[in-house]
Amino acid sequence: MAKQTEMFVLLFVCLSGLVQSTTAMIFWTAYVGVHFYDSSTNQTETRFCECGVYGRSSPLESAAGMVVLPASDPQGCSLDPYPSNDNTTTQGFWIALVKRGNCTFSEKIRAAWARGAAAVVVYNLDGTGNSSDYMAHSDTSGTVAIMIGNLQGVEIANIVRSGVAVSMVIEVGKAHGPWMDTYWLYFLSIAFFIVTGASIIYFGFISAHRLHSLRVIHLTDRRLRNEAKKAIGRLEVRTLKRGDEETKPDSHTCAVCIESYHPGDVVTVLTCGHLFHKACIEPWLLDKRTCPMCKADILKALGVEGPGEEESSSSSVPPPDVPIVTVSGGSGRELLYEVPLNDKHLPTPTLTPQPPTEARQPHHYDNIVFEGETHPQGNVATRG
């Protein structure tokens, strides 16, 4: 169970690290709305699209204001690129539109922020179409900054240069990731809750199983103890009297309490024939089951099986047949022994003596000098 717990903890840590690394790669899009008056059609044009990308350190906030271009440097990299006599820049409700290149994103954003810009919009390099990148500007975290495509940025810049006032609105869009956009976050969240729920269910199941096992063991012990008490109650109980053999000074003492027997003592006689004080032997049998002197299983003799004995007795299988050969040995009379060929099944082979098949014939010597009379015990007496 400890290994399983470690496995779930490791899985939780991995998922947490995956969520954190995925969150670092998620970027947010921006809705960009542009409003201006078209003198050729005498109508106000409104264009709205999800075509911007928030910078990595940009706050996810909305911004609105008039679009202002740098005075001389379209990249906005000079020390003070914005006109100082523009009423829009002095009021603070304006958005800087600069082109990518020549300096870092942080420098462009700081230059516009120093003049009070509400946001900075950077459009991409020439030849990139309407693609945009995920800007990095770690030291300008308090300024709203987005990037748009080159074609859109050039179009807005040309309208502003023609003297037409252009207002812009920036709204927070959607979160996007490297694989499934926001659905990847949903997937990770669901996976996290599934793993957490499975862990809770698993630990609940293990706890319930252990409680059930403990309850079964407790009930089994309780049943065996009750059966043991009833069986002990069937043992012979005597009250010793003066003159009984057990009360004599040289008789045995109770092996449990090591006290001599006295007239009036109540003793219990076990099935093996040994007797003990009733108050001593009953708790002993409930705990030990056996006679303190001969180690005989008293409760088993009374029909109370110990825990696990029924299963072991029912599962016991008699040993398979083992080939046996008969060998001869011994001196004097010829003895025959049965020896198993395979001792793997019978670790301690027994030697069973068999009656001799034929009587031992006396040995005859070629030289008559060595022949003598047979001794009554079977020895040959040689002649002197």
Q: Where among 158, 176, 194 does a domain terminate?
A: 176
- Answer yes or no: is 337 within a domain: yes
Contact indicator for 87, 178 with CB cutoff of 8 Å: no
Separation between Cα atoms, residue 31 and residue 50, nearest integer Å: 4
Q: Is the CA virtual torsion 69, 70, 72, 74 positive or negative?
A: negative
Q: Are both 280 and 354 inside the same structural domain?
A: no
The answer to whether residue 33 sits within a structural domain is: yes
Q: Going by C-beta distance under 8 Å and a sequence separation of 6 or more, which residues neighbour residue 153? A: 97, 99, 121, 122, 123, 124
Q: What is the pLDDT along the chain (384 residues), one digit of tens a residue?
A: 544 554 554 555 454 554 444 445 678 999 999 999 988 888 899 999 999 999 998 999 999 999 999 987 888 887 777 876 565 555 668 999 999 998 999 999 998 888 889 999 999 999 999 898 889 888 887 889 999 999 999 999 999 999 999 999 999 998 876 554 556 677 888 999 999 999 999 999 999 999 999 999 988 888 888 888 888 888 889 998 988 888 887 777 888 998 888 899 999 999 898 989 999 998 998 888 889 989 988 888 888 876 655 545 444 445 555 555 555 554 444 445 455 555 544 444 444 454 554 444 554 545 444 445 444 444 444 444
Strands 27-38 and 380-381, how do they pair? unpaired
Structural domain count of the chain = 3
Single residue among 159, 176, 193 that ends a domain in this structure:
176
CATH number of the domain bearing residue 294: 3.30.40.10
Range of the domain at 376: 324-384
Report the candidate in 305, 306, 308, 275 with the shortest Cα–Cα distance to residue 292. 275
117/248 same-domain check: no
Residue 203 included in any domain:
no
Q: What is the distance in angstroms between the CA of the first residue and the CA of the last residue of the chain? A: 90
Mark whether 289 and 362 lie in a shared domain: no
